[in-house]
Structure 1
Amino acid sequence: MTTVILVVMCVVVGALELYAGKQSRDQSNAFSRRIDELNEQVTKQNNVLVTVGEQLTAELSRVKQDVLPALDTRLRQNTGQVEELAGLVHQADEFLRTQAGRLRDLEQQRITLAALRRKLGEVETSVRAVTRTGAEEIEGKVDTALGRLADLERGGEEILALQRTLTRTLEDVEDVVAELLQFTEGELDDTVSAALTGRPRPHGDAVTATGRLWTRDDQLDDILGEMYERCVRASRLNVRFRTTEGSDGPAPGSPERRRYFLGGQAAEDLAGAFSALLISTGADLPRNGLHDAPRGEVRRGLARIEPGLPPGVEPTRPPEDEAALKALLRTLSECSGAVAQIGPLMAVRTRDELLCAVLTAAQSLELESDELFWDPSAATVRLRRLPSHQLWDLTTWATAP
């Protein structure tokens, strides 16, 4: 019996050992398979990383070979332009200093000539008092000398006036060159930033519209300029650059012509915005015979006090762009002749009319090629040919109180 039990126990122990060995082999095989799978995944990841590294290397090589040399070339070109503009500014500054020195010399000469003239007058008086012999001859010589001194003094004053005109011209040139330098530096910074970041340049960084301003009334020139620039700012535009042809313009005695280069909005957006503002302004005209209403009666329309409001209560103030445009048009209406252009918007004032129009790019180019921007009468005739949806006659609006 004991032997049987021992044999059974040996069999059981052997079976357990066999089972444990089988479990160990299964686990070992499972670990081996898992390790093989992990090795395969690592190999695939290594291959992907190698491919990405090769692509990055190729892209970096392309950037080094193509993009960076092109950027370096453009930077060198723009740097050269900036240096040229800086040289022009320095030359203009030297000219101004030279002219200032000449002005001081001329002022000193004028003072000296005036003192010499007074001295000769005193000598003439003393000579006439001392002797009458040869008085006529001496008097003639003194008169001749005084005449020459007067001519010299007039010539000195003319030279002084010319020097002052030249100084003002050089100051204007310096302002233009400074604005050109600022504009070029801004364009260079924007171009480099756009090239490095790969982002397109916004409209605010580029010139998207042009403007013009002209009036024959010198008294209203400064006020009209302020109203014009206020309207530009209210239209979310900024002046990138401005030029002036000078007070004499193309012909002596002609009014000053101003050109503006504007940025901030696209021309299509400006056309829609100005059309909406002009429609609002046109709605401000009296309707149904109320233009001739007796004094004391209320006029209806935009920006008027509507019936039913208590005394002293004003309606809601218009937006800034509408108020700025109306202020510009009111100032234009006070002129005897003026032209104002802001992108597609063109306002023309003659002695009898005030017209506004929203032009297309082709129409603006046609007016510019015919040189009508500086001629209110001819511009009015041309604007009258436009379709009705592009033209606003604001003569009645301008004369309404």
Structure 2
Amino acid sequence: MTWILFLLCLAIAGRELYLAFDRRRPAPELTRLRLHLEDVRRELDRFRSAQRERNDRLASAQDDHAGALSEADARIRSLIAQINDRMLPEVNTRLTRQRETIDRLTTEVTGLRDHLVRRMDHAAAVSLGADPADTVTGALGGRAGDLDPADDLRHAYELFTGRYGMRIELTAPAAHTMRYYLSGRSPRGLERDFIDLLHRLRTPCEDQDLDSAEVLLNALLRTEQAAAQIGPLLLARTPTALLCGVLPLAELRKTETTPLVAAPATAATRLSRLPHPRFHNATP
């Protein structure tokens, strides 16, 4: 009986051990779930790795793009600086010249309109019995080849013509000179006044009014070569001399004086052949 009880106890204990061991073994579904979770974890790892590589490539591409943008921006700034340094001064110079040209044309058109108005007014007066206006020519030239005389010489010339009662009606460039058309005085009256001027220049007195003539002579002296003509009066400046003379009116009717003004040396040669009353050497 004792052995039977002992064997029964052993059987019971063995069953308990089996049952306990069976409870510790994982079920098949749990094993499959674990395997699936392992696959998911490995897939997530691969995805994370791929994402990290993609992010690294994107970051590198962004860095390259930023570098390319910086380089392009630097090139653009360099080109803009070169354009500013090279082209802007030239553009500004051209714009300045264009503005000066427009201003000069505006002044010339205004002067031409005023001249036409004066001519029409005088023509209307002549039609009512007034005397016709006298007009003489003048010219001013600098060194040979210069078209526009110096400002101080032009100012002195215009001051002198105004001093002798002449109005500048029109100016026009011709043969390396600036040609003037002057009204208000007859050629005969100018011839008489200019011969008297040469006499006063030869024998100066304190009470003589020679300011405008001296201003013109000094302006000529400040040039290397120049010439000026007002009706019969001709002035020539060469590197060695300053000569003044009054040409005969008969010569003015036959000969164009503008070429003499354009060639001061030729003008000086012509003046040196004039008789004493019509000639004066104003060389200092």
TM-score (norm 2): 0.63
Q: 132, 135, 144: which is aligned to 1:208?
A: 135
> What is the alpha-carbon distance in structure 1 between the residues aligned to residue 208 and residue 192 of structure 2?
18
Q: Report what 1:260 is aligned to.
A: 180
Separation in 2 of the partners of 1:158 and 1:143?
22
Aligned position for 1:336: 224
Equivalent residue number for residue 318 of structure 1: 208
1:188 to 2:120 alignment: yes
Q: Does 1:225 align with 2:154?
A: yes
Contact 1:215/1:335 (8 A) holds in 2:
yes
Q: Residues 220-270 of structure 1: CA distance to partner in whole angstroms, max 9, x if unpaired?
A: 93333333222212212222233468xxx96xxxxxx43322111110110
Measured in 1, the distance between the counterparts of 2:257 and 2:201 equals 26
CA distance in 2, matches of 1:262, 1:185: 16
SS of match in other structure, 1:373: helix
Distance 1:139 1:381, change over 3 A: farther
* Aligned equivalent of 1:156: 88
Match of 2:29 in 1: none
The root-mean-square deviation of aligned C-alpha atoms, in Å, is 3.5
Residues 271 and 279 in structure 2, CA contact (< 8 A), matched pair in contact too: yes
Deviation at residue 355 of structure 1 after TM alignment: 0.5
Structure 1 residues 151 and 318: CA distance shift in structure 2, 3 A: same
| 8 Å Cα contact 1:367-1:373 kept in structure 2 | no
SS of the aligned residue for 2:255 comes to helix
* 1:311-340 Cα deviation digits (max 9, x unpaired): xxxx4x213xx3322332233223322212
Gaps of 5+ in 1: 1-130, 251-256, 284-301, 304-314
Equivalent residues of 1:338, 1:376 under 8 A apart: yes
Per-residue deviation, 1:148 = 6.3
- Give % identity: 25
The structural deviation recorded for 1:377 is 2.1
Q: Measure the CA separation in 2 of the matches of 1:215 and 1:139.
A: 56
Specify which structure has the higher proportion of strand: 2
Letter in 2 for 1:199: A
Higher RCO (CA 8 Å, separation ≥ 6 residues): 2
| CA distance, structure 1, for counterparts of residue 208 and residue 232 of structure 2 | 22
Alignment partners' CA distance in 2, 1:264 and 1:157: 46
Measure the CA separation in 1 of the matches of 2:225 and 2:76. Answer: 50
Q: Secondary structure at the match of 1:372?
A: helix
Unaligned runs of at least 5 residues, structure 2: 1-62
How many angstroms apart in 1 are the aligned matches of 2:170 and 2:95? 27
Is 1:240 paired with 2:169?
yes
Task: Please point out which of 272, 281, 285 is paired with 2:201.
Answer: 281
Per the alignment, residue 255 of structure 2 pairs with 366
Number of residue pairs matched by the alignment: 217
Q: Distance in 2 between matches of 1:211 and 1:394?
A: 20
Corresponding position of 1:113? none
Distance in 2 separating the partners of 1:388 and 1:338: 23
2:272 pairs with 1:384: yes
State the 1:142 CA deviation.
4.3
Deviations 1:157-211 (A, max 9, x none): 212211221221121111111111111111112212321x23333xxxx351122
Pick from 227, 240, 243 the counterpart of residue 352 of structure 1.
240
Deviations 1:53-109 (A, max 9, x none): xxxxxxxxxxxxxxxxxxxxxxxxxxxxxxxxxxxxxxxxxxxxxxxxxxxxxxxxx
**Structure 1 CA distance, aligned partners of 2:91 and 2:171?**
30
What does residue 48 of structure 1 align with? Answer: none
Q: Which amino acid aligns with 1:357?
A: G
> CA separation in 1, counterparts of 2:167 and 2:154?
15
Task: Give the letter aligned to residue 257 of structure 2.
Answer: E
The structure number with the bigger radius of gyration is: 2
8 A contact 1:242–1:261 mirrored in 2: yes
Distance in structure 1 (CA, Å) of the matches to 2:239 and 2:268: 11
CA contact (8 A) 2:226 2:261 kept: no
Deviation at 1:378, TM superposition (A): 2.8
Bigger drift between 178-187 and 158-167 goes to: 158-167
- State the distance in 2 between where 1:191 and 1:375 align: 37
Distance 2:267 2:179 in 1: 17
* CA drift at 1:353: 0.1
The amino acid that maps onto 2:234 is: M
Q: Distance in 2 between matches of 1:354 and 1:329?
A: 8
